[in-house]
A = this chain, B = another copy of it.
């Protein structure tokens, strides 16, 4: 089973390293990190760059495609080679998946039309722009499309995908091995439960990002 993560500059690294930790433990998994070139890919964390294992051109056809998110999504949507790779995968892959704003890469490739989907809370309403049905949940499955919410939702997403792909017993064994029994020290991980000041500060930060994403999506959908 070829599990392919799509890498692009300025991705949010945990969107991909979380699911990678879980899905790479699936029996028979062959994991590929695919990018435009073999040069290490930048992430939102300046200290961390990720060496790809393959280019899009050389990557075997994915059985499971996973697209992470991050501020780099705007440019990823404008990358013709990346988008062609995702569209090709869309025709063949058994599973099409995303974490966080990676959903908009699937969406720009017209793979979310009429599908229930989720993404990072700050971008959730934007899913309608790509014809998806915005669905408030940490993990959403609609047919062969599985989307996860923001960043850390990639873990809940990955255990759900693991169970779909390899059965619940396998998913449970991986969960115990990774000691996934979360106890957040604070209860403020969603806008509904955050205090007003924190929420306001975050919304101010994401506001400009919503505009640039909308532009990138409008261009992509006009071309498609």
State the A residues within 8 Å of B (CB).
Answer: 12-14, 17-18, 20-21, 24, 31-33, 40, 45-51, 53, 100, 120-121, 138-139, 149-153, 155-156, 159-160, 163, 168-169, 171-173, 175-191, 193-195, 197-199, 201-202, 205
15 A–B contact pairs at CB < 8 A?
A13-B17, A14-B21, A33-B47, A33-B48, A47-B53, A120-B179, A139-B183, A151-B177, A159-B185, A163-B185, A169-B197, A169-B198, A176-B188, A176-B198, A181-B187
Give the residues in chain B near A31, CB-CB below 8 Å.
45-47
Closest chain B CB from A167 CB (angstroms): 12
Asked if residues B184 and A156 are in contact (CB atoms below 8 Å), the reply is yes
Closest to A159 in B: B185
Whether A178 pairs with B198 at a CB distance below 8 angstroms is no
Contact assessment for A172 and B190 in the assembled complex, using a CB-CB cutoff below 8 Å: no
Residues of B within 8 A of A45 (CB): 20-21, 24, 31
Q: Kindly list chain B residues whose C-beta atoms are within 8 Å of the C-beta of A152.
A: 155, 178-182
With known contacts A14-B18, A48-B50, A182–B156 Cβ distance under 8 A: yes
What B residues does A199 contact at CB under 8 A? 176
Taking CB as reference atom, which chain B residue is nearest A188? B172
- Are A179 and B151 CB-contacts (below 8 A) given A51-B40, A51-B51? yes
Contact A168 B186 (CB under 8 A): yes
A24, A47, A159 pick with most chain B CB within 10 angstroms:
A47
Contact of A175 among B18, B139, B163, B186 (CB under 8 A): B186
